[in-house]
């Protein structure tokens, strides 16, 4: 009968999810490729970043063949939205994976992230603010049924490249970044007041997962320990202070902080800390279900639709 696959070509990482026809996860892989490195300034993908991402896509294609994938969706997000030379990467990615690369708008990305993150949550716990903190953008959606969505051009890579020029960053850099983030969230809420109506925060993607692992001292990834972990604002602020006091080489290898994420984890922690402070959340429910799960759900629904 075959399985279903979703591939996400993100700004920092390239990821794969393969699920069976019931939606049960078979394998989930993440590789830090840095596809969006330098895109915020140059508005173009670097050749070495493209090579890293395509190499990982070849690995993913082999896994998909081994696990009998019958249908797949591949998407690109913030870095590809910004890159003027995205067409050549999209063509090469399609040749490798065998399915077109769909460039998502920020609103489409937000909707799919919300679908994946909330599929397991009881509606009685809502409304939620779902925050997908990526490398180049952060998507904010309010629901139980999405009633307001906003895609903001801020993420761990973009913030690091714009503000955190020293390693470790200076206090002035951190303060400037936090002030800028606060202004972005204030403007987003002014334009979409419903963003401030949620009772609970659900956080997605690598930054949030890494901080949950860091807070628990996990030396190796443990899905059950991270998924639906309640990460307090105090823990996020403590992690931010500790990580920002070290150079990237000193962060790499700490619990939850892999080498590829070490240079940008401070930027990501700043995004989450500022978001929680602005919207008044004392804790964040960490979800390992995200845009990949949303993509697989749409594939399964399409497969079940009568023709």
249: pLDDT strictly greater than 70 = yes
Q: Is the pLDDT reported for residue 105 higher than 60?
A: yes
Q: What pLDDT score was predicted for residue 121?
A: 87
Question: For the CA atoms of 10, 271, 200, 31, what is the dihedral angle to 10 degrees?
Answer: 30
pTM for this entry: 0.89
Q: Which band of pLDDT confidence, cut at 50, 70 and 90, is reported for residue 153?
A: very high
User: 180: part of which helix (H) or strand (E)?
Assistant: helix 171-191
Phi and psi at residue 75, to the nearest 5°: -130, 155
Task: Tell whether the model's pLDDT for residue 123 goes beyond 80.
Answer: no
pLDDT of 304 above 90: no
Q: What is the pLDDT of residue 8?
A: 96
Contact 254, 242 (CB under 8 A): no
Distances (CA, A) of 138 to 21, 223, 279: 30, 23, 15
pLDDT(110) > 90? no
Report the pLDDT averaged over residues 212-233.
95
Give first-to-last CA distance, the chain, whole Å: 17
Greater confidence (121 vs 57) lies with 57
Lookup: tokens for 127: 């409304």
Q: Answer yes or no: are the C-beta atoms of 10 and 37 closer than 8 Å.
A: no
29 neighbors 60 (Cβ within 8 angstroms): yes
Per residue in 79-98, pLDDT (tens digit) is 899 999 999 999 999 999 99
pLDDT per residue over 46-74, tens digit each?
999 999 999 999 999 999 999 999 999 99
Round to whole Å and give the CA distance between 36 and 59: 20
Long-range contacts of 179-182 (CB under 8 A, 24+ apart): 181/154, 181/270, 181/271, 181/274, 181/275, 182/274, 182/277, 182/278
pLDDT at 189: 95
Find the mean pLDDT for residues 251-255. Answer: 94
Q: What residue ranges define each of the domains in the chain, with the CATH number in brackets? A: 3-106+299-304 (3.30.420.40), 122-287 (3.30.420.150)
Q: Which residue has the tokens 């990237």?
A: 248
Classified as helix, coil or strand, 150 is strand
Q: Do residues 98 and 61 touch, judged by C-beta distance below 8 A? A: yes
pLDDT tens figures, 5-40? 999 999 999 999 999 988 899 999 999 999 999 998
pLDDT of residue 40: 85
């Amino acid at each position: 009968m075959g399985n279903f696959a979703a591939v996400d070509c993100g700004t920092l990482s390239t990821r794969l999810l393969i699920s069976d026809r019931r939606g049960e996860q078979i394998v989930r892989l993440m590789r830090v490729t840095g596809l969006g490195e330098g895109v915020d300034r140059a508005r173009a993908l670097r050749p070495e970043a493209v090579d890293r991402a395509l190499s990982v896509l070849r690995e993913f294609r082999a896994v998909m063949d081994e696990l009998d994938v019958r249908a797949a969706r591949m998407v690109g997000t913030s870095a590809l939205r910004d890159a003027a030379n995205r067409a050549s990467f999209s063509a090469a990615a399609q040749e490798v994976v065998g399915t077109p690369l769909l460039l998502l708008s920020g609103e489409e990305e937000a909707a799919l992230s919300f679908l994946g993150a909330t599929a397991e949550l009881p509606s009685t716990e809502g409304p939620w603010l779902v925050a997908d903190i990526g490398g180049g953008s952060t998507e904010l959606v309010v629901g139980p049924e999405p009633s307001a969505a906003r895609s903001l051009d801020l993420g761990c890579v973009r913030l690091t490249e714009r503000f955190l020029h020293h390693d470790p960053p200076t206090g002035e850099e951190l303060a400037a970044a936090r002030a800028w983030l606060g202004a972005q969230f204030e403007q987003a809420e002014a334009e979409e007041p419903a963003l401030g109506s949620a009772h609970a925060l659900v956080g997605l993607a690598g930054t949030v997962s890494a901080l949950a692992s860091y807070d628990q001292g996990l030396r190796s990834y443990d899905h059950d320990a991270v998924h639906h972990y309640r990460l307090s604002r105090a823990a996020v602020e403590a992690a931010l202070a500790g990580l920002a006091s070290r150079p990237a080489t000193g962060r790499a290898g700490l619990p939850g902080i892999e080498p590829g994420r070490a240079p940008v984890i401070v930027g990501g922690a700043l995004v989450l800390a500022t978001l929680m402070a602005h919207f008044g959340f004392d804790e964040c429910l960490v979800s390992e279900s995200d845009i990949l799960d949303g993509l697989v759900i749409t594939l399964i629904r399409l497969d079940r639709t009568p023709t």
